[in-house]
Amino acid sequence: MGSAWPTCASTFCLSLVSVLSLILLVSCSSSALGTRHGEGLSRRSHQVKMDQAVLLIHNQLHEKFIIYWRSDHCYQCLFQTLSAANPAKRKDTDMVLVDTQYAITLQLNDTSGNTELCQVHYRFREFGNYSLWVTSNSSNTKDVTCDIIINYNPGYTNLPVVIAFCIYVVIFIVLTLGSFLIRRSPIQNWLCKQINPTETDRLINSELGSPSRADLCNQDAHLATWNTAPQRLRSLDTFRGLALIIMVFVNYGGGGYWFFKHQSWNGLTLADLVFPWFVFIMGTSIHLSLNSMLRKGNSRWKLFWKVLWRSIQLFLIGLFVINENYCRGPLSWSDIRIMGVLQRLSLTYLVVSALELLFTKHLPDALPPNRTCFLLQDVVIFWPQWLIILALEAAWLCLTLLLPVPGCPTGYLGPGGIGEFGKYPNCTGGAAGYIDRFVFGEDHIYQHPSSNVIYKTTVPYDPEGILGTLNSIVIAFLGLQAGKVLVFYKNQHKQIIVSFFTWSVVMGVISAILTKCSTNEGFIPVNKNLWSISYVTTLSCFAFFLLLIIYFLVDVKGYWTGAPFFYPGMNSILVYVGHEVFENYFPFKWKMKDSQSHAEHLTQNLVATSIWVLIAYILYRKRIFWKI
């Protein structure tokens, strides 16, 4: 681990169980708190599910009307029917369930649907109970008023997230600070005198070889041993692990909160960030690893066969992971899904690695400290690679914007369904969806895309389809550029940081132009389902900046060891495949007392995610890594 003294990693194992127990205790307390404030009562009485609230409709008119609704997040959508309210002479009150993810607009029309009586815009709170009073001071339908009254508000349903976040932050700060302090010379010298000599010898022999006990207290000898240890950029594994752990958490459900789920169409949530980051850092690792092997004298052709074999293995593992049959019985070849996360990774890895093997040039081991302006040089020096990447991006643009799609407008980038006021219900994804359905067939692509949540789409659509893989290659290549910066400016931290920051700004400017700084009104909106070019540049902007921060904290200043994310980052394939395969097995999932409680869902998902971090740490200590 680079030091004879226990790092925050060893303390992390001891603290993890207490953290999980505390989260469980706080979550259960939060659940009880919500019940006392009416949340439990509302759910039991009306069987309200997460992301829903109860709306009681009080019709004071003498005629029946129809209530329509539309989510603010549903761009250019048709109104959907919510309920039909009985006239005032009926004594019963109508009850409906309304969506709470975003603010919604309620519109009341007469039974013919042609005359609008009133309209109200409101953001309901999850598990809340509300009343809609529809009144009129005359028989004139123009005098109808709609008022929403709060019967009672639920408890603060986001409280478990806040508490869990604070707990993890406090533990993280304490462990990181402890790790930083324990590496300081005065503290190490003090520990040297306090630790049992026999135990000290054991620690030294297991970690750094077998120097004498006297050398342990000698600062110069310790520093010499530290400096001669093989160096590895921990920031890369830390970044990879961060993306992976967030991916595991959101895949397990993210506590059932909508903001931890994928965006229905345009825009970003936390869940939409992590896969591109993982692809980006894979590109960085490609350059570092292939560059290192080429320097050792490995032939390019031999390395290509290794790359090809690894890509095939990734693709086959991906097929196994996404086509589980433990609860559905034997699968039929007629409905096996072909593309997925690992499949996209395998194709991306193959193309980017092949480009690197074909066109990479050896950079000198040592460069003058004043070497600058690599942002242009890495484009000029490796211009054949850039030409191919630009050709791939041109292919994506041409296919996306110019390919004729039957029954759909050319260049359509929308979700279909009730979007675009219901004009193109079967055009989900435009050219991207059409190509997948044409190549694979509807039965071999993803059947439940995120677009059906808000836009009520009915056709299958695969967010890891063929066309989006072209832009996956682009973001991996941008990650490759980060690797070139690290090699080009080896040990020149200032230049590396400046270069990463410059790349981040350039990507951000391109995104601002493409999107016009809006969610839906830009030339090409940010869209995870399409893996649009603006999505690639936006996530690359974030990736360069985040890598800059992690590199500075971990590899430059040593303020942070990268724990706990460093450990799953070192065993990323095992953690990803493992969390998918064992998702529904104890202790990663268990039967909950209240399946509509965010607190219980969050506890379960955090426990499952933390267990995978613990597994990765144990495997790291045992030097067990799954490499393919």
Residue whose structure tokens are 């009306």: 46
The DSSP code sequence of 414-470 is: S--TTGGGGT-TT-TTTHHHHHHHHHT-GGGS-SS-THHHHS---S---TT-HHHHH
Burial of 300 (C-beta count, 10 Å sphere; 0-12/13-18/19+): middle
Residue 82 CA to residue 205 CA, distance in Å, equals 71
Q: How many CB atoms lie within 10 A of CB 301?
A: 8
Rg, Å, the chain Cα set:
28
First-last CA distance in the chain: 24
Which of 346, 330, 331, 528 lies closest to 444 in space, CA to CA?
331
Q: What is the helix (H) or strand (E) element at residue 148, kind and residue range?
A: strand 144-152
Mark out the alpha helices in 531-597 (DSSP H runs). 533-550, 566-570, 572-581
Amino acid at 410: T
Which tokens belong to 41?
């009562």
Quick check: is 262 catalytic? yes
573 with 244: CB under 8 angstroms? no
The DSSP code sequence of 341-384 is: HHHHHHHHHHHHHHHHHHH--PPPS---TT---HHHHHHHHTHH
Catalytically annotated residue among 73, 222, 262, 444: 262
Q: How many CB atoms lie within 10 A of CB 312?
A: 13
Which of 74, 59, 24 lies closest to 417 in space, CA to CA?
74
**E-only strand ranges, 48-114:** 52-59, 65-71, 80-85, 94-99, 104-110
Q: At 521, is the secondary structure helix, strand, or coil?
A: coil
Which tokens belong to 562?
């990268």
379 Cβ neighbours under 8 A, 6+ residues apart: 386
DSSP state of 527: B
**E-only strand ranges, 251-338:** none
Residue 480 CA to residue 474 CA, distance in Å, equals 10
| Secondary structure string (H, E, C) spanning 586-605 | CCCCCCCCCCCCHHHHHHHH
| Phi and psi angles of residue 341, each rounded to the nearest 5 degrees, phi first | -65, -55
Q: Which residues are catalytic?
A: 262
